[in-house]
Structure 1
Amino acid sequence: MGVYGEAKSGKTMFTRKALMDAGYGFVIAEGSEIKTLDGFWRHIAEKLQLNIRRHISTVNEKHAQDHAEVSGSASTSFYVPAVKVKAGLKTSSETRTLEGMTVHSEVLESVREACLNFLEAANMAVIVDDFHAVKDAVLRKEILLNVKVPAGLNRGKYVFVAIPEEALFVGQSDEQLIARNGVHEFPTWSRTDLQEIARQGFRALGIGYEESHITYIERNCFANPINVQQICINICSVCGIKTSADVPAGFVIPRDKVRTALADFANELRFFDDIIRQAESKGGVTAAERKYNVNGVSLNVYQLVFATLCSAAATSESGVRVKTIRDRIRRFLNDDEWKMPKLAEILKRLADSEINLQFARRGPDPNASKRPLYFDGEKLYVTNPMLRVYLLWGYLQGLGLDQDRIVDAPREGA
């Protein structure tokens, strides 16, 4: 089975839950670790914790002639460990086994056979996460063909999870695979869904909240339920809540705690600072010099531009004009005469910087997700939703600046 959909939308989590509900244990293999077909099975063997023993075998002369091997050559044998199978899920290894069965230790001919025997005996599935990370389409086809027969014989179930649907097309185009697999799109989460995740979590703990809190959480999670969970965890943490027993009677989350939690969440996105580092390396020593003082913090012109983007107005889809950026910098510096004739060049360097994001949203332009900023000569646009969240909540705090003293109006959600 293939499952595709937006990055970090919960595809793997849903697959895990579906398999558990269906009575299957599972292991998760990472597509980024798979370089060859043999490597695919070796990776699964590692995940299954099969005992792989490397030994030096001395073979007799006849065996050496028959197999064109040299006496004393190194070879690898694979063993399935003896396990007493019990019903239920082993939380330590996510391995489900069946009561009354025992898998005996025995030498197996190959890693693949060892894995298949174990998967069949233990009624397990393999989730291949980020299957799109297997860049070679030929290898993806080989893997699917290699599990076709075992899957039909109940020697393991196989779920391939990917972001772009194209990574799974091979299963729909090859005549040997057609009708032997299903490809399903994982639906995106609606704003209502994401808000309800936060509401139910707070209700379960007996925590009071305002609807504006829920809106803040939903607007800043970039349509990701896992981020909703993390922001809610941050809120509980800054409020000193670990369990429902820590919640005072009538407690309602203070607004400032929500803002602190969002700042903590946004500060995990500091990799966006690489935009500034790339621009500095292209612009030379003069532009990179931190010669501007803002409330006791020394900044260079690239950092000043980032600071001008730390408001809901600047991160809106309408973009911000060069003149507006210049005027904001003047206000930051308390210098109405500040000028930089080449400010447009500064903005272009920032817009040309690239950030590789595994979970960037897909789009028609393959390079669009790598460039979180766009400059058309007149306006600078913040195009990446994660960069918007970082600018709105994390960037100024990371510099040690007071957001409310820098930005004119109170912040709104991204």
Structure 2
Amino acid sequence: MNRLLAEQVFKPGAFPEYTYVSRKSTDLGIDYELRLRQALKVSGYLTSIIGPSKMGKTVLCEKVIALENLIEMSGVDFKDSEDFWNIIGVKVGLSVSGEFGEVNLKGNMESKKEINKSEKFVLNKDRVIEYFKDNGLVLVLDDFHYASEDVQIHIAQQLKDAIRKEFKAIVISLPHRADDAIRKNADLTGRINSINIEPWKESELEQIAIKGFRELGINIKNDISKKISIESLTSPQLMQYICLSICTLIDSDTGNIKEVPEDVLEIAYKFTTINLNYNDVVKILKEGPNPRGNKRKLYKTNIDKELDIYGLIVESIRKNPPLVGLTLDELKRRIDDLIICDIKKPDKKTIRESLNKIQNIITEKDGIYKVLEWKDNVVHILDPLFLFYLRWGTY
């Protein structure tokens, strides 16, 4: 048997065949895989998967549904509500429009002649639904929150009618968007199978490292796998990425490495950030809105930098312990801890107003900038990879 390579074992962006970890929901104690299988068997119901970003929601779908039956799309694919079924049809290879013909034989037994009949067709909802049913396909609509509110409402209405015709669909969204158009559609009340994906526990993330390095014939101590799991910020994707970085740094593919050395960890964290393209995102957040010639107040900090309110907010987010949800009170405490002078520190009103301005900037930017959301007095980190970059990247 050929030796496995690290890239075959640790897969940050693909299905992890050797390091897949099955988890149980704490509310029911049932495997997520079993819950999804059961949901897909219920005719006339829409399946809604809610969970933080980079938590393995799509990987769960790939585990349960055969890849040839899974049609993955994203909320960003739908710019115009009128194109919903056309876009799906094109995705599965259906023609948007065209002609079909049939031949009829007409005449008596001695003399029959062919009559060609052709009709034009335009791709429509019913044709797409029938194609999905005939071929056992399941639509997985990921990042539903990336679609505009109007498009979300339209899609919810379209799916309401489609599931009644036994069209199978899964909508994936973020937990603080659980009040989106799907949940708010009164006609879907009682017709949704909800699966809430909980953040990964450190013990579950550790299993990725333990299983993966075992496949490579390399020992990893429990305290090392635990340290990696903490820095993975509840994200299995990030855990895979860090483990792959470790393998690259120790050259595991030679087969000469027997144990993961502890002194490689911090180097691996920094090495992992090399391919994370968040430099411009951090710059935008730290700069805040255009000051229009007005000088901002600077505060002396314990990190040997003078920072304005926007720099303080970014720096407070990256501080220990790493959290993917920060309340206004927690941000205020962290900002206070950063400032070393006795001068008046920013109050909650100033912090709140600054966060509102940051949110306005993010809202107007492209998808890569939507790394966090300020909502209901909580900063939600939408992308754990961004927080990891904040902690270990160079910017």
TM-score interval (norm. to shorter): 0.5 to 0.7
| 2:142 alignment partner AA | D
For residue 273 of structure 1, report the CA deviation from its aligned partner.
Answer: 3.3
State whether residues 218 and 228 of structure 1, in contact with CA within 8 Å, keep that contact through their aligned partners in structure 2.
Answer: yes
Provide the C-alpha distance between the structure 2 equivalents of 1:124 and 1:170, rounded to a whole number of angstroms.
26
Cα 1:266–1:210, aligned 2, differ >3 Å: closer, same or farther? Answer: same
State whether residues 141 and 170 of structure 1, in contact with CA within 8 Å, keep that contact through their aligned partners in structure 2.
Answer: no
Q: Which of 57, 67, 70 does residue 26 from structure 1 map onto?
A: 70
Provide the C-alpha distance between the structure 2 equivalents of 1:304 and 1:39, rounded to a whole number of angstroms.
42
Q: Which has the larger radius of gyration?
A: 1
Provide the C-alpha distance between the structure 2 equivalents of 1:391 and 1:235, rounded to a whole number of angstroms.
20
Aligned with 1:160: secondary structure? Answer: strand
2:85 is the alignment partner of 1:41:
yes
Q: Which of 234, 238, 245 does residue 223 from structure 1 map onto?
A: 234
1:274 paired residue number: 284
2:358 paired residue number: 354
State whether residues 5 and 185 of structure 1, in contact with CA within 8 Å, keep that contact through their aligned partners in structure 2.
Answer: yes
2:238 is the alignment partner of 1:194:
no
State whether residues 128 and 159 of structure 1, in contact with CA within 8 Å, keep that contact through their aligned partners in structure 2.
Answer: yes
Cα 1:78–1:28, aligned 2, differ >3 Å: closer, same or farther? Answer: farther
For residue 227 of structure 1, report the CA deviation from its aligned partner.
Answer: 1.3
Provide the C-alpha distance between the structure 2 equivalents of 1:193 and 1:282, rounded to a whole number of angstroms.
49
Q: Which of 21, 32, 49 does residue 4 from structure 1 map onto?
A: 49
**Unaligned 5+ residue runs, structure 1?**
53-75, 80-105, 289-293, 328-338, 373-383, 400-414
Cα 1:249–1:257, aligned 2, differ >3 Å: closer, same or farther? Answer: closer
| 2:165 alignment partner AA | P
Superposition map of 1:111-260 within 5 A: 111-132=124-145, 133-136=147-150, 138-151=153-166, 156-163=167-174, 164-167=177-180, 168-170=182-184, 173-174=186-187, 177=188, 180-241=191-252, 245-250=253-258, 252-260=259-267
Provide the C-alpha distance between the structure 2 equivalents of 1:282 and 1:352, rounded to a whole number of angstroms.
18
Aligned with 1:354: secondary structure? Answer: helix
Q: TM-score, normalised by structure 1?
A: 0.58
CA offset digits 1:105-145 (Å, max 9, x no partner): x9644243442343233221111112333523642431222
For residue 14 of structure 1, report the CA deviation from its aligned partner.
Answer: 0.7
| 2:169 alignment partner AA | Y
Aligned with 1:169: secondary structure? Answer: helix
For residue 158 of structure 1, report the CA deviation from its aligned partner.
Answer: 1.4
Provide the C-alpha distance between the structure 1 equivalents of 2:74 and 2:317, rounded to a whole number of angstroms.
37
Cα 1:313–1:116, aligned 2, differ >3 Å: closer, same or farther? Answer: closer
Cα 1:15–1:238, aligned 2, differ >3 Å: closer, same or farther? Answer: same
CA offset digits 1:139-160 (Å, max 9, x no partner): 2431222312332xxxx42112
Provide the C-alpha distance between the structure 1 equivalents of 2:51 and 2:290, rounded to a whole number of angstroms.
33
Provide the C-alpha distance between the structure 2 equivalents of 1:231 and 1:185, rounded to a whole number of angstroms.
26
CA offset digits 1:295-354 (Å, max 9, x no partner): 9xxx764599678997648999694575x6455xxxxxxxxxxx7967759x95976762
| 2:287 alignment partner AA | R
For residue 211 of structure 1, report the CA deviation from its aligned partner.
Answer: 2.3
For residue 49 of structure 1, report the CA deviation from its aligned partner.
Answer: 2.9
| 1:369 alignment partner AA | V
Cα 1:124–1:326, aligned 2, differ >3 Å: closer, same or farther? Answer: closer
Aligned with 2:65: secondary structure? Answer: helix
Provide the C-alpha distance between the structure 2 equivalents of 1:206 and 1:117, rounded to a whole number of angstroms.
49
2:268 is the alignment partner of 1:261:
yes
Query: Does 140-149 or 222-231 show the bigger shift?
Result: 140-149
- Between Structure 1 and Structure 2, how many residues are aligned? 304
Provide the C-alpha distance between the structure 2 equivalents of 1:113 and 1:141, rounded to a whole number of angstroms.
16
Aligned with 1:128: secondary structure? Answer: strand
**Unaligned 5+ residue runs, structure 2?**
1-45, 101-118, 363-368
Highest RCO, 1 vs 2 (Cα 8 Å, sep ≥ 6): 2
State whether residues 56 and 236 of structure 2, in contact with CA within 8 Å, keep that contact through their aligned partners in structure 1.
Answer: yes
Provide the C-alpha distance between the structure 1 equivalents of 2:295 and 2:77, rounded to a whole number of angstroms.
40
Percent identity between matched residues is: 17
Provide the C-alpha distance between the structure 2 equivalents of 1:304 and 1:354, rounded to a whole number of angstroms.
11
Aligned with 1:161: secondary structure? Answer: strand
| 2:64 alignment partner AA | A
| 1:265 alignment partner AA | T
For residue 48 of structure 1, report the CA deviation from its aligned partner.
Answer: 1.2
